[in-house]
Structure 1
Amino acid sequence: MIKLQNVSKTFVTKKGKVEALKNVSLEVKKGEIFGVIGYSGAGKSTLIRTVNLLEKPSEGTVSVNGTELTKLSPNKLSASRKKIGMIFQGFNLLKTATVYENISIPLRLSGLPKAEIDNRVKKYLSIVGIESKSDSYPSQLSGGQKQRVAIARAIAHEPEILLSDEATSALDPDTTEAILDLLLKINEELGITILLITHEMKVIQKICDRVAVMENGEVVENGSVLDVFTAPRHETTKRFVNSIFHHQLPEALLTKLKETGSIVSLSFVDNTSGEPTLALVSKKFNVFPNILSGTITQLKDVPYGKLIVHLQGDDSEIDRAVEFLEQQHVLVEGVKRNDVKNKRIS
């Protein structure tokens, strides 16, 4: 659906050249929600703006549905952009126009008949749930309502792709949840492929199928949300995962517990259950598990949890217990016996 191949973007400033993107390759499949996450300055905004060529790459190619946009004439590029909607953090609504007009004006400029414009405005206002605000002005709306108008305006063109540029970062947590639910609805009911960028893990967790992690203009990890965040390799990815699981254990506690066993981190996914498995450990082996900390979250529809557990017992019995846990598809990590140098376990 969307394919970036070896895309680089260099900006020339008074202070010299800035490499915003460095040889980025990425593929977004039809019908999925693909997230790009990274901290400020990672290159996310530049990346998403290359998809519709608001930023033309310095090198590399951008293709949508098999058409290489970087080779199109201005007229053909303009036609291709109609299939790509975009929503922004700042809403970008016309302050002196009503909600109805904010959606209808771009349609009118596209040359659609008046009756079709009216049908589409009413249809998509209904889909985003603010049909009652048709005659209101942006100043009369909440942040969430403004974003719903922006989403309605973007999908009123009936695009195949929706680009979301930090669309929830200016919203409060409850409104963010509502907007994410709306994006899920649009993806599932209208079949629109969504590419979004964010610095918020909750966005990736809730709605994304696959994710790319960016750092310094490069994609450092890329894959399914489940694979990337249950087995992170890059330090940036690990930082994002740690933002979900804060397991801060006092050093004094670690020092005391290390004398009688091991402290491990147990990660479990989907129908793997931490506590019943631990109950079996205590029955099968001469090991006594003690849960020190735990968190369960969702990666879209899949439960994912981490427990910090003290396994009390002899080294040989603990080794057997760990082997059993791994056979039950539980990822076992942690502080090795007699090692308390790092008091944060994640």
Structure 2
Amino acid sequence: MIELKKTSKTYKVNGKAVEAVKDVSLTINKGEVFGVIGYSGAGKSTLIRCINLLEKPTSGEVIIDGKNLSKLSKQELQKTRRKIGMIFQGYNLLKTATVYDNIAIPLKLEGVNKKLIQKRVEKYLSIVGLLDKQNHYPSQLSGGQKQRVAIARALAHEPEILLSDEATSALDPETTEAILSLLLKINKELGLTIFLITHELNVVQRICDRIAVMENGYVVEQGTVVSLFTNPKHPTTKRFVESENTFTIPSEIMASYRSTGKLVSLHFVGKELSEEPALALVSRKFNVLPSILAGGIEQLKNHTLGKLLVHLRGEKEEYEQAITYLTNQGVIVEEVN
């Protein structure tokens, strides 16, 4: 559906070359929700704007449905862009236009007839839950409602791809969750491919199938959400995951536990949360006493991820056998240093 091949973008700033995106190669499948996460300045915004050629890559290829966008004529590019909707952090709504007109005006400019415009506006306002607000102005709406209007406007062109540029970063947690649920609904019911960028880990963990991590213009790691959450490789990925999931335990307490056994972090993915209680069986099979110090459950798009911080009290030989047993049961075990 979307393929980036060694895509790079360089700007000239005060006579100096600034490389915003460096040699990025990604493949996004049809119907997939793909997220790119990175800290400020990582190159995310430039990358997403390269997909619809709002920013023309300095080198490399951007391929949509088998078409290299940089080789299309102006007319062909315009036609392809109609398949690509985009929503932004700042909503970009016309302040003096009603909700209805904010969606209708771009369709009028495309030459869509009046009856079809009305049908589409009402259809997509209904999908985002704002049909009763069609005669309101943006100033009368909350931030979450404004973003819903922006989503309806993007959907009204009936695209195959939806690009989301930090669409939830200006919203409070409750509204963010509502918008993410809406994007999941759109992905499922309309079959849209969604490509989003964010600096918020909860966004990618909630709705993405796969994610890529950017740092200094490069994609430094990519994979499924589960794999990156449970086994991050690159230091930047680890910083994101640890900032979200690290348990805060006083150092003096941690020291006392380390002297009497082993501290481990356990990840349970999906069915392992509810099937055979592997941790409970450890004390029966080995001369080890497990103590749960902290824990939590995260809901990913297609999986439930449980995490526990556990102290295994016992001799080295016993707790090492216990760790091997847990690993063989499908539990992801990481020693805490």
Q: With structure 2 as the length reference, what TM-score do the two structures score?
A: 0.97
**Structure 1 residue aligned with 2:135:** 135
List runs of 5+ in structure 2 lacking aligned partners: none
- Residue 334 (structure 2) pairs with residue 333 (structure 1): yes
What's the CA shift for 1:316?
A: 1.1
**Structure 1 residue aligned with 2:21:** 21
- Residue 9 (structure 2) pairs with residue 9 (structure 1): yes
Map 1:75-90 → 2, pairs under 5 A: 75-90=75-90
Report the 3-state secondary structure (helix = DSSP H, G, I; strand = E; otherwise coil) of the residue aligned with 2:20: strand
**Structure 2 residue aligned with 1:292:** 293
Deviation larger for 323-332 or 23-32: 323-332
What's the CA shift for 1:329?
A: 1.1
Q: 1:164, 1:273 → 2: CA distance?
A: 32
Map 1:1-346 → 2, pairs under 5 A: 1-14=1-14, 16-273=16-273, 276-335=277-336, 342=337
Report the 3-state secondary structure (helix = DSSP H, G, I; strand = E; otherwise coil) of the residue aligned with 2:56: coil
**Structure 2 residue aligned with 1:339:** none
Aligned residues between the structures: 336
List runs of 5+ in structure 1 lacking aligned partners: 336-341
Q: With structure 1 as the length reference, what TM-score do the two structures score?
A: 0.95
Superimposed CA distance per residue, residues 130-185 of structure 1 (whole angstroms, 9 cap, x where no aligned partner): 01111111111111111111001001000000000000101111111111111111
Q: 1:191, 1:185 → 2: CA distance?
A: 9
What's the CA shift for 1:15?
A: 5.9
Q: 2:284, 2:164 → 1: CA distance?
A: 51
Q: 1:151, 1:273 → 2: CA distance?
A: 36
- RMSD between aligned residues: 1.3
Superimposed CA distance per residue, residues 210-229 of structure 1 (whole angstroms, 9 cap, x where no aligned partner): 11111110101111111122
Q: 2:133, 2:290 → 1: CA distance?
A: 56
The sequence identity of aligned pairs, in percent, is 63
Report the 3-state secondary structure (helix = DSSP H, G, I; strand = E; otherwise coil) of the residue aligned with 2:271: coil
Superimposed CA distance per residue, residues 185-236 of structure 1 (whole angstroms, 9 cap, x where no aligned partner): 1111111111000111111111111111111101011111111221100011
Report the 3-state secondary structure (helix = DSSP H, G, I; strand = E; otherwise coil) of the residue aligned with 1:262: strand
Code of the residue aligned with 2:9 in structure 1: it is K
Q: 1:183, 1:73 → 2: CA distance?
A: 32
Q: 1:176, 1:257 → 2: CA distance?
A: 38
Code of the residue aligned with 2:35 in structure 1: it is G
Q: 2:281, 2:15 → 1: CA distance?
A: 63
Code of the residue aligned with 1:245 in structure 2: it is N
Structure 1: which 4+ aligned runs deviate by more than 3 Å? Answer: none
